Structure 1
Amino acid sequence: MITRPHIEEAARRIAPHIRHTPVLQLPVQALGTPCDVVLKLEQMQVSGSFKARGAFNALLQSRAGEAGVIAASGGNHGAAVAHAAGALGIRAEIYVPAISAPSKVARIREAGAVVVQGGATYAEAFAASEARRAETGAVSVHAYDQEEVLAGQGTVGREFEADSPGLTHLLVAVGGGGLIGGISAWFAGTAMRVVAVEPEGCPTLHDALRAGGPVDAPVGGLAADSLGARRVGSLMYPIARDVIRDAVLVPDAAIREAQQRLWTACRAVAEPGGATALAALLSGAWVPPEGARVGVLVCGGNCDPGSVVG
C-alpha cells in the first residue's frame, strides 16, 4: 500500500529531475465555472505530463542493465520514460498502440527511445512489450500499476496541497488510475474529496466502482490515447475506492470545450486527457456543493497546438 511516507520519499528522490509546476487561481468569470477554481498546470511538466514523476521515481530505483527499460504507452508514459531514461543514460524501448497521436510518438523518438508499434490498443501494446521484456531482460516500467509509479504520481497531490491549502475538492482525470491512485494515497485520511473524471468512451474506473473491482471497459473517444486503459490497476483500486467521493463521465464535446476555454482564458494548451477534469466542472457533470473550494488538475499537454488553437 502506498502511503504518505512513500510519496515524501519519492518527492525527495525526483526533485532534481522534475518541475514544481505552478498553480493558477481563477475567479468564476475567467473560465465560466460555477465557482472559483485553482488549476495545477501539470502540462508544463518535463515531457509534457505528470507521467515524468512516476517514470523518474521508478527508474531511479531500478537496476537496468544493458537491455535498459521497456514500457507500453498510449504516448505520455512513453514520452516520460524516454525522457527519464535519456536523462539517466539508460536505453529505452517503448511500445505504442496504433491509436497513439503522431505528436506523442514523435516526442518519444525525439527523446532517444526505440519506438515499436505493438497493436491497436494499449492492452495489445502492453502484451507485446511484456513478450519483448521476457526475451531481453529489460526492466519494465508500468504506466500505472507499479508502486514506484504510483508514489511518483502522488507527488502531484503533495505539491497541490502545499501550494493551495484549504481546497475541499480535487478533480482528477482517470485512465489506468496511476495518477488518481497516487493522489488518493496522499489524501487518504484527510477531508479532501477527490473526484474522478473520465470520458464517456473510457469508463474504466466508473465501471470498476460499479462492479466492485477492476473489470474490462470500453476504450474509445477523443482522449483514448491518454485515458484509454482497458481496466484500472489492481494497486490503485483499493486506495481510490476508499478516498474517491464522486466518479463522473463527460462527453467528448465537453472535453473539446474545456480545451478551448483553457486556451482562450489562460493561453494553456491541454491535450484532451489533460482537459477532461475541467470538462466535468464546465459541463455540469459534477456540481460543486455550496462553499466548495475546488482544484482541477490539468494533467497533460502533449498534442498538436493547432488542434486546440485553430
Structure 2
Amino acid sequence: MPAETRITPERIAETEALIRPHIRRTPVLAVDMVDFGRPAFPVQLKLECLQHSGSFKARGAFSNLLQRDIPKAGVVAASGGNHGAAVAYAAMRLGIPAAIFVPSVSPKAKTDRIRGYGAELVIAGDRYADALAASEAYAAKTGALPVHAFEQTETMLGQGTLGLEIEQDLPDIDTLLVAVGGGGLIGGIAAWLAGRVRIVAVEPEGAPTLHNALAAREPVDAPTEGVAADSLAPKRVGSLMFPVAQAFVERSILVADGDIVAAQKALWETVRVVAEPGGAAAFAALLSGKYAPAPGERVAVLVCGANTTAVQF
C-alpha cells in the first residue's frame, strides 16, 4: 500500500482532532439480551445512529472536506443515501457546493435529508454502481471533487475515528460487531484497533461482499440484493480496506433479511432506538444467534445508521 494511502493510527488520531468540532460523540447504551427475549448476557450498543446526518458517514465526509483541496465547483458523491446525506450535511456546514447521485433504491428518508441540506440531488440508475458512474461523469464535466463512500483514504481515516472513540468509551471489550457494505467503516475501525479487539463483520446474505472477498483472498463482485441494499450492497469491497480486513477482521457472518427486520423491531420496541436495516444488521447477528458469545465475553455492537421513516413494524 503506498505511503500516501496508508490508514495508520497516527493519521486517524490527527483526523479525529481535526473533525472533532464538527461531529457528535455518540453515546453507549448498556443492555441485557434477556430484555430481548434471549438468555441473559450484557451487551454495549454504540449508538452512532445518533451522529449528524443520521449515520457514521459524517465522520468520513468531514475528513474529506477538511483535508482535501476543494475546487470552486465543489464536491460530488455517489451514495445509497447515507454517504450522500453526510457529504451534503458537511458541505452545508462548510459552505461548499455539493451534488449527490443516488440510485432509485435510495429510501425517501435519505433523499429527503440530502435535499434538506441544500445539495443538488440526482437519481441515476437502479444500483449504487449506476450512481457512481453518473457521478464520475459529472466530476469530469464540472471539475467537482469526487468524495468516495469508501475507496478514499480520507474517508477511511474519518471512519477510523469511530474506532478511537469506541476504544475510549469501552476500553475493556473483547469483541465488536460491525456491519459491512463497501468496508470503509470496518476498515477504518480495524486500522485503529489493530488486533486489540476481536472484530466480527456482519453482512446480509443477499450482499456478502466482504465474506466473498475473504474467501477469494481479494475483492470480488458479489450480489447486491436484500432489505439493506441501499447501504450494504456495493458490488465489491474497497481495495484500500481489504488488506486491513485480512489482517484484523476475524470473520464475516451472514444474516437473513428476516433477521435484520427482527433486529430493527427489537431495537425500537425494547429500547426505543430507531435503526435502518443496515444500522441494525450487526445487532441482528447477536439477536438471531448467528453470533454466539462465549461465557464472560464482553461484546459491543455498532448501531451505525438511523435514516428510515419506518418506526412501526
The TM-score with structure 2 as length reference comes to 0.96
Q: Is the 8 A contact 1:263 1:269 kept in 2?
A: yes
Q: CA RMSD in A?
A: 1.0
| Alpha-carbon shift at residue 49 of structure 1 (Å) | 0.1
Specify the alignment match of 2:58 in structure 1: 52
**Which residue identity does 2:228 align to in structure 1?**
A
Matched, 1:238 2:243: yes
Q: Is the 8 A contact 1:33 1:281 kept in 2?
A: no
- In structure 2, distance between residues paired with 1:70 and 1:28: 42
Greater Cα offset, 60-69 or 215-224: 60-69
Which of 97, 106, 109 aligns to 2:112? It is: 106
Which of 63, 68, 75 aligns to 1:62? It is: 68
**Which residue identity does 1:109 align to in structure 2?**
R
Which ranges in structure 1 are unaligned for 5 or more consecutive residues?
none
CA deviations 1:29-81 (Å, max 9, x no partner) are 22345521000001100000000000001100122122100000000000000
Which of 246, 271, 277 aligns to 1:272? It is: 277
CA deviations 1:165-201 (Å, max 9, x no partner) are 21000000000000000001011142x1000000011
Which of 5, 12, 27 aligns to 1:22? It is: 27
Matched, 1:262 2:267: yes
Matched, 1:165 2:171: yes
- In structure 2, distance between residues paired with 1:231 and 1:249: 15
Which of 43, 47, 51 aligns to 1:37? It is: 43
Greater Cα offset, 158-167 or 271-280: 158-167
Which ranges in structure 2 are unaligned for 5 or more consecutive residues?
1-5
Which of 175, 181, 200 aligns to 1:175? It is: 181
SS of aligned partner of 2:67: coil
SS of aligned partner of 2:166: helix
- In structure 1, distance between residues paired with 2:211 and 2:258: 19
**Which residue identity does 2:308 align to in structure 1?**
C
| Alpha-carbon shift at residue 287 of structure 1 (Å) | 1.3
| Alpha-carbon shift at residue 206 of structure 1 (Å) | 0.4
- In structure 2, distance between residues paired with 1:65 and 1:232: 28
Specify the alignment match of 1:144 in structure 2: 150
Specify the alignment match of 1:308 in structure 2: 311
- In structure 1, distance between residues paired with 2:177 and 2:251: 9
| Alpha-carbon shift at residue 228 of structure 1 (Å) | 1.3
Matched, 1:283 2:288: yes
- In structure 2, distance between residues paired with 1:241 and 1:172: 15
Which of 58, 82, 92 aligns to 1:86? It is: 92
Size of the alignment, in residue pairs? 307
Specify the alignment match of 1:184 in structure 2: 190
CA deviations 1:121-153 (Å, max 9, x no partner) are 101110110111011111110001111110100
SS of aligned partner of 1:60: helix
- In structure 2, distance between residues paired with 1:90 and 1:76: 18
- In structure 2, distance between residues paired with 1:178 and 1:26: 27
Specify the alignment match of 1:210 in structure 2: 215
| Alpha-carbon shift at residue 120 of structure 1 (Å) | 1.0
- In structure 2, distance between residues paired with 1:261 and 1:106: 26
Q: Percent identity of the aligned residues?
A: 58
